Amino acid sequence: MKKKSLFAALCIIGLLMLPHASLAKMNALNDEQLGDVVGQAGIAFDVSKLGIDMTMDTLYWGDSDGLGGDTTAGFISLTDVRLIANIDFVEPMTMDIVTRQTPLGTELSSLDIHLSDMTIDIPRFTIDAIRIGSAPGEGPSLGSFGIYNMHANISGNVSISVRP
């Protein structure tokens, strides 16, 4: 019984001391100390595995008034586009929105993107018809396009950011 009482007493003393251990003394900083403080703000996204399953009815580029004169509108269209792909990054792709201080003392916000080694697998990328006509998706077909079972290992690093 004495062991239980001693253990209970030690637990109570420990619980009473716990709030005092977490108290911290706050000191005001002077201008020199504040000058050494660095703050960063931003959002970071990590992408390590990316799957794509995309379908598109029509993707087109055109000129609605033609060349002028006797010409009419002209469009080139890719119809029934399908892309199935997987991208595996050896190291996660990171995108950071950052604000930096420039040497001139101004702030510069940018989107920093870093890519490393990756593997790309494309089981299917098809375009059912490539058409030229007077409206998007219309006109005779010039043919179709397809890539099946493509595999690519890409090595190296790519960093994209804004420089002052």
Residue with tokens 């108290």: 23
Mean pLDDT over residues 22-50, rounded?
Answer: 66
Per-residue tokens: 34: 């504040």
Amino acid at 93: M
What is the reported pTM? 0.56
Sequence spans of domains, the chain: 41-160
Amino acid at 12: I
Mean pLDDT over residues 126-144, rounded?
Answer: 95
> What is the chain's mean pLDDT, rounded?
80
Mean pLDDT over residues 124-142, rounded?
Answer: 95
Written as one string, the DSSP assignment of the chain is: -HHHHHHHHHHHHHHHHHHHHT--------HHHHHT-------EEEEEEEEEEEEEEEEEEEETTTTSTT---EEEEEEEEEEEEEEEEEEEEEEEEEEEE-TTS-EEEEEEEEE--EEEEEEEEEEEEEEEESSTT-S-B---EEEEEEEEEE-S-EEE----
Give dist(CA 161, CA 92) in Å, integer.
17
